[in-house]
Amino acid sequence: MKYVYFFGAGKAEGHGDQKDLLGGKGAGLHEMTRIGLPVPAGFTISTEACDQFFRQGKKYPRGLDREVSRHLARLEKATRKKLGEPKDPLLVSVRSGSARSMPGMMETILNLGLNDRSVEGLSERTHNDRFAWDAYRRFVQMYSSVVIGLPKEELEERLRDMKKRRGTALDTDVTADGWRELVAAYKKFFRERTGKDFPQDPVLQLWGAIGAVFGSWMAEKAVTYRRVEKITGLLGTAVNVVQMVFGNKGDSSGTGVCFTRDPSSGEKTFFGDFLINAQGEDVVAGIRTPMHLSDMRKRMPKLYAQLERVRGILERHYSDMQDIEFTVEEGKLYILQTRTGKRTPAATFRIAVDMVKEHLISKEEAIERIKGEDIERLFYPVLDPDLPRTDLAKNRLATGVNAVPGAAVGQAVFNAHEAENLAAAGNKVILVRRETSPEDVGGMAVAQGILTATGGKTSHAAVVARGWGKCCVVGCEALDVDYSQKLFRANGRVVHQGDWITLDGNEGAVYQGQLKLTTPQLPPDYETLLSWCDKIRKIGVRANADTPQDARKSREMGAEGIGLVRTEHMFFKDFDYPEKSIERQRAIQEMIIAEDPQRRKKALDRLLPFQRQDFIGIFRAMEGLPVVIRLIDPPLHEFVPHDRVKQEELARDLGVSADSIARRVAQLHEANPMLGHRGCRLCITYPEILEMQVRAIIEAAIACQREGLRVHPEIMHPLTLDKKEMRILEQATRRVADEIIRKEKMKIHYLVGTMIELPRAALLAGEIAEIAEFFSFGTNDLTQTTMGLSRDDAGRFLPDYVDEKKAGIFKHDPFQVLDIEGVGKLVEWGIQQGRKVRPKLEVGICGEHGGEPESVKFCHRVGMDYVSASPFMVPIARLAAAQAVIEEGKKPRKSKR
Amino acid sequence: MKYVYFFGAGKAEGHGDQKDLLGGKGAGLHEMTRIGLPVPAGFTISTEACDQFFRQGKKYPRGLDREVSRHLARLEKATRKKLGEPKDPLLVSVRSGSARSMPGMMETILNLGLNDRSVEGLSERTHNDRFAWDAYRRFVQMYSSVVIGLPKEELEERLRDMKKRRGTALDTDVTADGWRELVAAYKKFFRERTGKDFPQDPVLQLWGAIGAVFGSWMAEKAVTYRRVEKITGLLGTAVNVVQMVFGNKGDSSGTGVCFTRDPSSGEKTFFGDFLINAQGEDVVAGIRTPMHLSDMRKRMPKLYAQLERVRGILERHYSDMQDIEFTVEEGKLYILQTRTGKRTPAATFRIAVDMVKEHLISKEEAIERIKGEDIERLFYPVLDPDLPRTDLAKNRLATGVNAVPGAAVGQAVFNAHEAENLAAAGNKVILVRRETSPEDVGGMAVAQGILTATGGKTSHAAVVARGWGKCCVVGCEALDVDYSQKLFRANGRVVHQGDWITLDGNEGAVYQGQLKLTTPQLPPDYETLLSWCDKIRKIGVRANADTPQDARKSREMGAEGIGLVRTEHMFFKDFDYPEKSIERQRAIQEMIIAEDPQRRKKALDRLLPFQRQDFIGIFRAMEGLPVVIRLIDPPLHEFVPHDRVKQEELARDLGVSADSIARRVAQLHEANPMLGHRGCRLCITYPEILEMQVRAIIEAAIACQREGLRVHPEIMHPLTLDKKEMRILEQATRRVADEIIRKEKMKIHYLVGTMIELPRAALLAGEIAEIAEFFSFGTNDLTQTTMGLSRDDAGRFLPDYVDEKKAGIFKHDPFQVLDIEGVGKLVEWGIQQGRKVRPKLEVGICGEHGGEPESVKFCHRVGMDYVSASPFMVPIARLAAAQAVIEEGKKPRKSKR
């Protein structure tokens, strides 16, 4: 087993495709070495080694030590330096790197190889005592916190103490002696806390660092991050041991991060930050505000030109926008890392479409690069453009760097942990920090937006927030954040914890109070890309919509019909005249309280015109497109009040006794309402409800057709489980519908079908398809019954089932991503059996999975006619449907089972 | 299409195997005609005609009228009489008859063909004016009530009035003029009610009667009866039109019912009742008390000898005990009906075993004749034999005919409808009637026992009750029943409605008050027959038992192991020391209330010795046999009190605040507990519970093995749905178990397996079988999830689903009889997939279906290793398992799919 891969001097044992083995950073280093870019030499310990490390209870795999020493020797040979050599020591960085980027989640140690002796050698060799001791203090600091786990704050405190003692304000002003003093203080602290001296043997240091990097893979924050980001299937992190180059050797040195295109807008401009006389961490942490590349171009034209050339090579090589880390050591450029750059959703679309136009990638590749979340985030809110400028000016607190666009309103919170608690209690919060660190990720995840006082667009806060498409303003230097008092001051005003603020991530502005937000304009490239998707995809996309308003929205979003109208929503609310909602509620309640079919019928007659009017609105909005209407589904108790006061009100309105209502409500109580008297079972017991609903649908269709509109109603019965049941429902439906059609002398083409949402229905789909003209898989309920999981209750244990640190039984929450291996089996079987009997059976899905990309791809693979998703998920479904076709084209065709 | 089949003069168009087409009675008449028995001539209108009648909206099928007239002509030719002929008219009976006996459920009309003219002809011809008018009044009475639907009571009232007017007490004392007067009264009443004259055209009469018989097939009482008796798949009733013979032509005439063996004990004696000068209805209705056959033998030896010969022929011909109706007309014997006789469970076993010994049937045939209910009823209670004789004498109210054995205690109720209501409200009732009629069947069904003042062992009450194995005393002539005051008097005592009485169906005795009942001795033939079953059957039979007591009982009942120990039952109750139950409850409650694993662990440590002791008891009882132990299954909220008072008690006992308990209880509340945090999910969240339970099992096994006992524990995880989940549980189980085994240095062979009770588990059974060593199908929950039916809630609509008069969607309640086409598919798939991976996978079922015969047969067919049923169902499962083998042997082998 080979665990270690060398790169250096233009040759590399690995290459760019080996991300799984070498991690993203490692694969990039090997690849860049291969294509001749200036990369410092080094070697990568593979993710397989990390995997073995955890499999064997945190023990290094056999032979790893020998392999590492062999490669260390090779590195020493290539650099002509030796680790720990007192005169001219080899110094290395030890960095993590997994196959998927996890910014800031794992550990890095720099300047490894320094000890009390070699620091002097470095000083002599570089003629820079200050540099050498600065490097040593950085190493001791990192090693102490990362490898040993000493608290960062206490180390920082010693730095502050030293500076205070010596009267220096800035790190750059600290002298060699100052750093020497700090190293002594660190070492003392180290001894106090660990009972041991700071390790002087560089090989020991190296193994400590390797172990720390491996260990960080399973640190809680990294595990959480992977869960949030749905990152699964990785072996572990690789470890890159690379010769150090120094950006902090004076004003001809520096370090920077750049993007080959603007990660915010997607514009094809060279974009980045450069910090003179600094090491990489200084940029990423955002502690000092760096210079933009445009300034670098003016101030260091030659270096800029070199960088610009690298930009071109890398973008062409990878055919994607790159995020590049580089260091300049005494005028010489080194590329330390390249990876696909994170970007805003708008930039995602622009870059993808531009690259197709530039013939860098194909349309298919462009489509593959878009993720569902990219689309989702396009619809994130912005400040209402109609807000008066004077209002804005009056409320403006400060302006920072517009790190991630969008807008957010929330209550200021100064601590990530508190942010999590407040958000869990239902509050909208904005996390305000001087700067963020990986410890803050939990609080960042739940916040509406993130605001930091320091840092640039490549700071931790900016990178993480951008990945999530979460509004973020950084480098807002006017902010004076006081953690202990939980407040910040800005331009003479004070914002306390709990005060409302508004962030504008487009402008980088911070406002006092709650400003009005609206939905943004979609970028033109979005439409272009989605139109490509529509040409490629084979599965239809419909929307779940219950009102004419939703129906119009769905059509706007590209829906080709409605896959689910939940008629009972109309019982609760009049969407045209909300003030009339009570009339509907009373009618349905009267229907439920009714003790005989006659009274029930009377109450239903009151509901009929409301339902008919709603259906007319929906049919109008969806003119020419199919509309699947589901008859009443929820258990009746959901429609009646459960508290005494409301029951008394209802009793007065209906002219019955409150006791009789309480009795009926008690009668309707169920131990497991999910498995109770609901769905088509209601229409089996109360055929009057079916009659009213079918009447409303058919009368509405006739009314629209008289207006000259084309209507395609599909009447859907929920929760069926048997052919005989389906036949009763179908016959009752046709009896009512055909009688009206005959009387009105109109031709209405309607379908009668069913949801397949119980395992038994899927198992007996062949028989049911003898009656049903269409199937719509209700995968919400099908998941609940197939897995025996109540969605309402699963909160108590499902998180453990998904958490890989706990049981880790499911890859995803099955209510988010369809459980393909379990529930999917039933879906596949149901379709096969149904189509055997009725080859033209129309098949769709209307559970919430219909808008989830992995699930949509599954629906494509099993040959559904359409997916139906909530209106805002429609474009995501369109994208996923196209991606499914592309993925399929790549796979070797499976033989038919 | 041929609808009508003729029989007469030794020839018959149909035969005995055509029960489905000709009904049981019809097939018997045709067959008896074929084998030369004296049967009156007639013809049968087939069940297919009835089926067509209902399919065409109660219209006779085309051509039926012509076919009936042709056969009527044939009958007239055979009898040399003509229907309606004024001088010597042909009279016929029109009787229902379906493939399955439905005693008293459908209609019969006798003496059809009489009218105002032919009655005079009959009178002249028979020289018996009284007989002729009696016949006519009977016909008018039956026709009016059965065909026209006039109320029986009002007709009876006119009979009473006439008798009162004429001062006659008994029907037999009524003169010809009396009957003439009654006919006139009936005809007047008929005209008043219908506006028409009583029909005089015999052909019109015949069609009226045919229509009434067809109609009775769908009458509510018949439909209810079929549902209760689970009779499905029949086309309808046949109609038998048969020449009348008269048992009421004087003292050389009579009518009777006999059984070829004693239907109560099964003894091989000729058994029956004969009523001189009476028509059949008089016997069946039990209005007069008949003479026993032994008396007939003495008084009419020649006739008796003829009958005895018929008895031998029929029993040999049908190889089963027959129930024969016969009539003697002026000394000539006619056999009117033969059918397999209903019998008590004890008789069922005795007859079956005796017939095998007599080489009349094979062992297989004997086994096939036993039904599950026959066994169930063997265990019905009897009067405690230890009751002091003086007590019995003191409480004895009266003695009647011991129609159906067993004993019953209940409150006297005098009306069937009230009996239904009281039973529905949870009362135990005994239905007391002068005599019963088919209208009373609903009340009879819910009663503990039935008591009538009149009638013999072949009366309606006796026959129906015997079919159900329900304790019944008839002909209790000392009873003076007063319906209006709701009481009866007997030997100077009065029993009012609501007073407790006790029936002893073995002795025919009626007692005041609630006497103590016990379980009876099993008949020796039961053991013989079950031992034959055990030799034939291939599937094992285990029991569901939660306590050492139950385990011992199971073994007694023939269980070959325990298929399900529900360990949580031990948390509620200490079966050895019930007064200690609270200790267990408190410990489990403390475990649930515990807020951290340490406290939980402490509470579990208190439970450990209890559980271990229970397991020791069970292992001892089941020495040498496998014991499947299911770990904790129900949601935790089932263990904690939900009302404030009990919560406060618990709080005091545990030394915590009542509020904290209320909080925890609220936290445990679930919207759908069936789909909630239960089953193995509890052990995933609280591994401490698994550890305690596995420890208790293994320590108990070791303790027993040290005693020299052989133990075979099988540890079962409920509600699994995934291989990974199963692996976590299996590893945790083995870790605990193997550590104890290692420490104790014992060899314990144990299995780790799972219930398959979720559709997903069945679908992924192949993967789960990689880990699980055995499967036990939990078909209760599998039915709930597959069908989306909560057992607790289904009461609201499931009855409609099973009721063929309503939706009629399911043949059976799926919680009683396994839904083979739906749930069964998952079971079959699960077994196939599991065995593919693990060919020796042990597979069983432990849902309540494990004791239901149809379901047991399914389990055999799909190749399960065993079924597990509640202890009392074990013999039923043994029987069904043998029957499954026999049925399989008969069927052509299906080719492997």
Q: Are B631 and B718 in contact (CB under 8 A)?
A: yes
CA pair distance B409, B512, nearest whole angstrom: 10
Contacts of A786 in chain B (CB under 8 A): 758-760, 763, 785
Mean pLDDT of A541-568: 93
Predicted confidence band of residue A804 (pLDDT cuts 50, 70, 90): low
Which residues, at least 6 apart from A552, have a Cβ–Cβ distance to it below 8 Å? A621
Contact A653, A603 (CB under 8 A): no
What pTM, to 2 d.p., does this model score? Answer: 0.77
Contacts of A684 in chain B (CB under 8 A): 797, 800-801, 807, 809
Q: Indicate yes or no: CB of A821 within 8 angstroms of CB of B672.
A: no
Measure CB to CB from residue A675 to each of B672, B685, B728 and give the nearest one: B672
Strand order in the sheet with A472-474: A396-399, A509-512, A500-504, A407-413, A429-433, A449-452, A472-474, A401-404
Which positions of A are catalytic? 460, 846
Cβ-defined contact of A809 to B674 (cutoff 8 Å): no
Residues of B in contact with A810 (CB under 8 A): 722
Q: Sort out which chain A residues have CB atoms less than 8 A from B671's CB and list them.
A: 673-674, 790, 792-793
A386-443: pLDDT as tens digits: 888 788 888 999 988 888 878 999 999 999 889 988 998 889 999 999 888 767 878 8
In the prediction, which pLDDT does B892 show? 64
A729 touching B (Cβ < 8 Å) = no
To the query of whether residue B460 is one of the catalytic residues in this protein, the response is yes
pLDDT per residue over A852-879, tens digit each? 999 999 999 999 999 999 888 899 999 9
Instruction: Taking the CA atoms of B479, B484, B485 and B486 in sequence, report the sign of the dihedral they define.
Output: positive
Question: How close does chain A come to B729, measured CA to CA in Å?
Answer: 10
- Three-state secondary structure string covering A190-202: HHHHHCCCCCCCH
B307: pLDDT strictly greater than 90: yes
Report d(CA A791, CA A816) in Å as an integer. 11
Q: What is the mean pLDDT of chain A?
A: 90
- A739/chain B closest Cα distance in angstroms: 20
Residues 820-879 of B with CB under 8 A from A: 821-823, 825-826
Residue indicated by tokens 């694969």: A27
> Which residues 687-726 in chain B show a CB within 8 A of chain A?
719, 721-722, 724-725
CA distance A809 to chain B (A): 6
Alpha helices in A379-429 (DSSP H): 389-395, 416-424
Q: Is B801 on the interface with A (CB under 8 A)?
A: yes
Cβ-count burial A149-161 (b if 16+ within 10 Å, e if not): ebeeeebeebbee
Per-residue tokens: B444: 């009879």
Is the model's pLDDT at B609 over the cut of 80?
Answer: yes
Stretch among A840-844, B297-301, B511-515, B581-585 having the lowest mean pLDDT: B581-585
The CA-CA-CA angle for residues B781, B786, B790, to 5°, reads 55
pLDDT at A785 exceeding the cut of 70? yes
Confidence (pLDDT) at A224: 75
User: Closest by alpha carbon to B348, among B368, B333, B364?
Assistant: B368
pLDDT at B897: 37
Residue in B682, B719, B767, B796 to test binding to A, most A beta-carbons within 10 Å? B796
How far apart, in whole angstroms, are the C-alpha atoms of residue B802 and residue B789? 13
pLDDT at A897 over 50: no
Give dist(CA A390, CA B606) in Å, integer: 71
According to the model, what pLDDT value does residue A896 have? 41
Mean pLDDT in residue range B645-665: 89
Query: What is the per-residue pLDDT across B193-228, written as a single tens digit (0 to 9) for each?
Result: 999 999 999 999 999 999 999 999 998 878 877 876
Closest Cβ opposite residue A807 in set B670, B684, B785: B684
| Minimum distance, in Å, between the CA of residue B145 and any CA atom of chain A | 32
| Residue A631 scores a pLDDT above 70 | yes
Are the Cβ atoms of B671 and A673 closer than 8 angstroms? yes
Nearest to B721 among A728, A788, A825 (CB): A788
What residues of chain B lie within 8 A of the CB of A673, using their CB? Answer: 671-672, 793
pLDDT tens, residue by residue, B462-509: 877 876 768 999 988 888 899 989 999 998 899 999 999 999 988 889
Is A236 in contact with A254 (CB distance < 8 Å)?
A: no
User: Is pLDDT above 70 for B285?
Assistant: no
Q: What pLDDT, on the 0 to 100 scale, is given for residue B495?
A: 95
The pLDDT of residue B896 is 41
Provide the pLDDT confidence category of residue A895 given band limits of 50, 70 and 90. Answer: very low
Q: Any chain A CB within 8 A of the CB of B795?
A: no
Query: Quick one: pLDDT at residue B895?
Result: 45
**pLDDT at residue B228 in the model:** 65
CB of A795 within 8 Å of any CB in chain B?
A: no
Q: Which residue has the higher pLDDT, B536 or B810?
A: B536
Could you tell me the two tokens for A488? 């910040």
Q: How far is B680 from chain A (nearest CA, A)?
A: 11
Which B-chain residues 646-675 have CB contacts (< 8 A) with chain A?
670-675
Task: Check pLDDT > 80 for residue B86.
Answer: yes
Task: Return mean pLDDT, chain B.
Answer: 90
Instruction: List the single residue in A757, A760, A793 with the smallest CB-CB distance to B822.
Output: A760
Which chain A residues have a beta carbon less than 8 Å from that of B676? 790, 793-794, 796
Mean pLDDT of B548-552: 91
Distance CA A563, CA A845 (A): 8
Residue A45's pLDDT is 97
Q: Which of A633, A636, A672 to mutate to test the interface with B (most CBs of B within 10 A)?
A: A672
pLDDT tens track for A151-165 = 988 998 999 999 999
Query: Across the A/B interface, how many CB contacts are shorter than 8 Å?
Result: 171
Low-confidence winner among A599-608, B215-224, B314-323 (lowest mean pLDDT): B215-224
pLDDT of residue A770: 98
Interface residue A608 vs chain B (CB under 8 A) = no
Give B-chain residues touching A790 at CB under 8 angstroms.
670-672, 674-676
Question: Mean pLDDT over residues B402-415, rounded?
Answer: 90
Which has the higher per-residue pLDDT, B752 or B278? B752
Q: A681 contacts in B (CB within 8 Å)?
A: 797
Q: Could A807 and B760 be called an inter-chain contact, meaning their C-beta atoms sit closer than 8 Å? A: no
Average pLDDT over residues A174-191: 95
Percent of chain A that is helix, strand, coil (3-state, to 5): 50, 15, 35
Q: Is B781 on the interface with A (CB under 8 A)?
A: yes
Q: What span, in angstroms and rounded, lies between the C-alpha atoms of B130 and A246? A: 133
State the helix-helix crossing angle for A176-194 and A152-166, rounded to 10 degrees. Answer: 140
Question: Given an 8 Å threshold on Cβ–Cβ distance, is B672 in contact with A826?
Answer: no
How many angstroms separate the CA of residue A819 from the nearest CA in chain B? 10
Give chain B positions within 8 Å (CB) of A763: 786, 822, 825-826
Cα–Cα dist B693/B568, whole Å: 10
Residues of chain B above pLDDT 70, percent: 97
Instruction: State the average pLDDT over residues B754-761.
Output: 98
CB contact under 8 A, A760 and B823: yes
Measure in Å the smallest separation between the Cα of B219 and chain A Cα atoms: 22
- pLDDT grade, residue A535 (50/70/90)? very high
B564 min Cα distance to partner chain A (Å): 21
Mean pLDDT (whole number) for B36-46: 96
Q: Which of B30, B71, B258, B460 is catalytic?
A: B460
Task: With CA atoms as reference, report the closest residue to A818 among A795, A843, A851.
Answer: A851
CB contact under 8 A, A672 and B787: no
Position A26 confidence tier, pLDDT thresholds 50, 70, 90: very high
